[in-house]
């Protein structure tokens, strides 16, 4: 839902009203687009809910969402579009979220449909960036450079490091560990680690999982 009732007009007075008062004036615009990234987040959460409760409806919803995204947003090479089109994409966040979602589904079903390896290949082969002076995984496809070259982003690289390291524990493939290390090398750069001290928790979690071999334990804890 949009933050404002009327685009560009701050709606503090509107949200100060009670429910009946707001409904009388109308409701802010609702975004009805279906995005790969947000569905990946939801699928991952539903798989975790199923793992914790055994509730079949949660797994059914996760599988249904995954099937729709694969059918309607897949690029056919392991990547995913954000929505109907990607003006400056494809974006790391969509492929990453769906790769993690597929790994979560596999962890609770052992079903290899939509397995995460293609997403890893897409991230590894198309987004490793050295332009900033240290390795990182860029936010969008390096081949689609416009006015500004895509750069690595902290939260996404934390998620890449944790996803790829966890995937490595499932597959044992060196390229999965390589992808985790590429993201971690960006996070460990002095310029990055010291510039975002309020967001260091994700870096520490990624580091702990990669250095202690505890990714699987962390994953089970998060799902519970």
What are the domain boundaries of the chain?
1-32, 33-223
pLDDT at 101: 95
Return the pLDDT at 115.
Answer: 77
In sequence order, which ranges of 143-195 are alpha helices (DSSP H)?
154-171, 174-187, 190-193
Place of tokens 């902290």: 154
Tens of pLDDT along the chain (224 residues) come to: 888 898 888 889 999 999 999 999 999 999 999 999 999 999 999 999 999 999 999 999 999 999 999 999 999 888 899 999 888 788 999 999 999 999 999 999 998 877 787 888 788 765 665 555 557 888 887 665 556 677 888 999 999 999 999 999 999 999 899 899 999 989 988 888 777 666 788 889 999 999 986 555 445 435 43
One CATH from 3.90.180.10, 2.30.40.10, 3.30.70.20, 1.50.10.20 for 33-223:
1.50.10.20
Helix then strand then coil, % of the chain, to nearest 5 = 60, 5, 30
Q: Are 97 and 37 in contact (CB under 8 A)?
A: yes
pLDDT score for 61:
98
Model confidence, pTM: 0.82
pLDDT at 212: 84
């Amino acid at each position: 839902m949009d933050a404002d009732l009327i685009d560009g007009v701050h709606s503090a007075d509107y949200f100060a009203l009670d429910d009946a008062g707001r409904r009388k004036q109308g409701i802010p615009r609702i975004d009805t687009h279906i995005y790969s990234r947000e569905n990946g987040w939801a699928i991952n959460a539903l798989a975790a809910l199923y793992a914790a409760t055994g509730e079949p409806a949660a797994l059914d919803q996760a599988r249904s969402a995954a099937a729709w995204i694969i059918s309607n947003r897949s690029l056919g090479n392991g990547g995913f579009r954000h929505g109907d089109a990607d003006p400056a994409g494809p974006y790391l966040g969509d492929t990453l979220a769906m790769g993690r979602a597929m790994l979560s589904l596999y962890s609770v079903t052992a079903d290899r449909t939509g397995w995460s390896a293609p997403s890893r290949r897409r991230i590894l082969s198309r987004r490793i960036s050295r332009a900033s002076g240290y390795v990182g995984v860029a936010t969008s496809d390096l081949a689609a450079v416009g006015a500004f070259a895509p750069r690595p982003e902290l939260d996404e690289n934390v998620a890449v490091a944790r996803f790829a390291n966890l995937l490595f524990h499932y597959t044992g493939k060196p390229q999965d560990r390589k992808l985790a290390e590429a993201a971690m090398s960006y996070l460990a750069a002095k310029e990055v680690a010291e510039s975002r001290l309020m967001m260091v928790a994700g870096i520490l979690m990624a580091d702990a999982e990669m250095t202690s071999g505890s990714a699987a334990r962390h994953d089970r804890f998060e799902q519970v």
